[in-house]
Amino acid sequence: MPKVTIDGNVIEYEGREKLLQLCLDDGVELPHFCYHPSMSVPANCRQCLVEVGMPVKNRETGALEVDENGDPVIRFFPKLQTGCSMDVSDGMVVKTHRTSDLVKRAQKDNLEFLLVNHPLDCPICDQAGHCPLQIQAYKYGPEGSRFEFRKVKKPKRVKLGPRVMLDAERCINCTRCVRFTDEISKSHQLTIIARGVKNYPMTPPGMEFDDPYSMNTTDICPVGALTPANTRFQARQWEMAPTPSITTTNAKGANCFYWTRDNLIMKITPRQNLQVNEYWLPDEDRLVLDQFNNNRPEGPQVRADGGLQASTWDAATAAAADLLDAVDGSEILFVGSAYATVEDNYLLTKLASALGAATPVYLSHVETGHGDDWLRTDDRTPNTQGCERLGLTRTDAATLQAQLEEGAIKLVYVLEDDLVASGLAAGALDGVSVILHHYNTTNATLPAADVALPAAMVVETVGTFVSEDGHAQRVRPAKAIKGINRTLMMETGKSRTDMHGTPFDRWHNESHQVDCQPSWETLPAIAALLGHPMSYKGPKQIMAEVAANHDAFAGATYDAMGLEGVRLEEIGEAV
């Protein structure tokens, strides 16, 4: 295999590689701003300059020339080369800032230039703490600036579009955002206007930056020039803890980080997964913070004296069990959910079959025309495939209504869905007992519920979702819930300082904890009261059982899914 020598270390490579990408793949850090692996290489930030040389060959014989020690003679390019645009070739010798003072000096001077007109407003900048310019200025930059004149004034607080704010003074003109709209999202909405020190990215007059993927530019912006409008000035980077998970706005299962502070989701950013969403996340996936933080229920409720009254978990599960016990299995309609995890739906099917009820149905939430063949799908739920693979029956509100009007159904058990908001007439549930696992107090089925059991959302639970493409991925709890659950505590990321230690530790934080339970905890509790014990240590064991018993889930164990998920075998026609 061809070899390159970088700072004396020999690296083997295959195919045509760019030097900077080779370094990144190999864990050799090279500072850079404008380069992005998925976009074209403009080489305009000049930060990845390195010394590059090739072994000298005798022109006639083609033999390598050697010096008196027998080492090959290396002839270096007269000028420094940008690593991002440099094609590596066999025998190439590279000196980075680790071994070359020239490169070190070039990086330092280049940063001094980049900082000439850059406002040093890091203390009020949202990018501070994860800003490539800040980090690299600390690591490779000069101690101060020799520029003692007034900096160029440019527009600030510009609303480029409904979701992206621009601070033109901070921009270093790397053109990543422009290239993103040109090459990735293909909306062609941005350009660099003017020239010299006066230039900055802008939309042309009469055009708004309303690309459905516009907020990706705020992720790839190497400075604080582009920031998301919805999370601006909400939290500092170091106050939040990221949890690797997936988004549930649609059936794509795009990988993301949920950023948490004080048990509130502060922002959602993409997580690299080349099999699913690469580096990107649609805007709609990031704008759902509200549903996780607000209008969350405060514990279970049971209908008494004509209204829903606050209850305890023991009393509420007992009430649910009593309701289920009072009717015959054939009179119960179990409604699973494409919002819920595979584990929750699986336990529901187990409960249904234990009580002799029909296979659970699930409501399809397809919004035709919403998808775009990329990261947005017509299906607005994350787990339709999971329900299909478990054998749940797809239904819609009209069918459900007809079924209820027949009168044979005495009890509806709804798992993490909203029947009334999906189009079921509220009157259809009159005279029918309803047990509801719900996420938000805005759930329109809640007024009809007899037992309301708050369910943990994707940011609070452990479970598996199967994307439209059959990619099974597991989620991890990003925020803590009120109850103590060993699995959730163990699965919570180690970066969560507020989650470790005892309630007596200074950093322990109980604010904004929602009194809810993952359905894989509630369902077995109800089943046990009905005399059908389901003993599982946790969702990992449930999923292992699903993977072992269902061919459609073959291989989808927690260990196999890891952080990037498992591509399942295709089943029939995709939904």
Partner 1 sequence: MAADITKELSPLPDRTPEPAFSADELVWTAAEQEQMEVYKKRYPTNDGAIMRGLWLAQDKYGWLPPEVIRLVAETLEVPYAQVYGVATFYTQYFKERKGKYVLDVCTCFSCQVCGGYDMLHHLEEKLEIHVGETTEDGLFTLQEAECLGACGSAPMLQITNGSYLHNLTTKKLDTLIDGLREGKRVPFVSVTLPQDADDLDGNRRSDVKATDTYHAPPVAKTVK
Name the residues that contact partner 1, by CB under 8 A: 150, 152-155, 158, 168, 181-182, 188-195, 197-200, 202-207
Count how many residues are written for the chain.
575
Q: Minimal distance in Å, beta carbon 253 to partner 1? A: 31
Q: Least distance to partner 1 from the beta carbon of 272, Å?
A: 28
**In the sheet where 264-270 sits, what is the strand order?**
241-246, 255-261, 264-270
Q: Which is nearer to partner 1, 153 or 370 (CB)?
A: 153
Alpha helix locations (H) across 245-396? Answer: 283-286, 289-293, 313-326, 342-354, 384-390
As a whole number of angstroms, the distance between CA 74 and CA 4 comes to: 13
Q: Smallest Cα–Cα separation from 176: which of 138, 216, 134?
A: 216
The 10 Å Cβ neighbour count of residue 322 is 14
Q: Which is nearer to partner 1, 157 or 537 (CB)?
A: 157
For residues 226, 230, 233, 237, the Cα torsion angle rounded to the nearest 10 degrees is -80
Cβ(177)–Cβ(68) under 8 Å? no
Shortest Å, Cβ 155 to partner 1 = 4
Q: Nearer to partner 1 by C-beta: 73 or 197?
A: 197
Q: What is the spatial distance between Cα 52 and Cα 81, in angstroms, rounded to a whole number?
A: 7
Report which DSSP code applies to 512. Answer: T
Report the nearest approach of partner 1 to the CB of residue 185 (Å).
12
CB 205 → partner 1: shortest distance, Å? 4
- Residues 167, 202 contacting (CB under 8 angstroms): no
Of 209 and 339, the one with the shorter C-beta distance to partner 1 is 209
498 sits in the region (left: phi over 0; alpha: psi -120 to 50; else beta) called alpha
Instruction: Judge contact between 127 and 223, C-beta under 8 A.
Output: yes
Query: Whose structure tokens read 């055009």?
Result: 207
Q: Which is nearer to partner 1, 172 or 355 (CB)?
A: 172
Kindly state the smallest distance separating residue 574's Cβ from partner 1, in Å: 34
Nearer to partner 1 by Cβ, of 196 and 369: the residue is: 196
Q: Which residues pair with 327 in a beta bridge?
A: none
Contact 419, 363 (CB under 8 A): yes
Longest CA–CA separation in the chain, Å: 101
Residues 440 and 296 sit within 8 Å (Cβ to Cβ): yes
Q: How far is the CB of 156 from partner 1 (least distance, A)?
A: 9
Nearer Cβ to partner 1 (149/504):
149
Contact between 152 and 198 (Cβ < 8 Å):
yes
Closest separation in Å from C-beta 115 to partner 1: 18
* Nearest alpha carbon to residue 185 among 167, 158, 161, 150: 161
Q: Minimum distance between the CB of residue 202 and partner 1, rounded to whole angstroms?
A: 7
Shortest approach of partner 1 to residue 147 CB, angstroms?
A: 15
* Residue (167 or 344) nearer to partner 1, CB: 167
**Residue from 561, 492, 575, 574 nearest 275 by CA:** 561
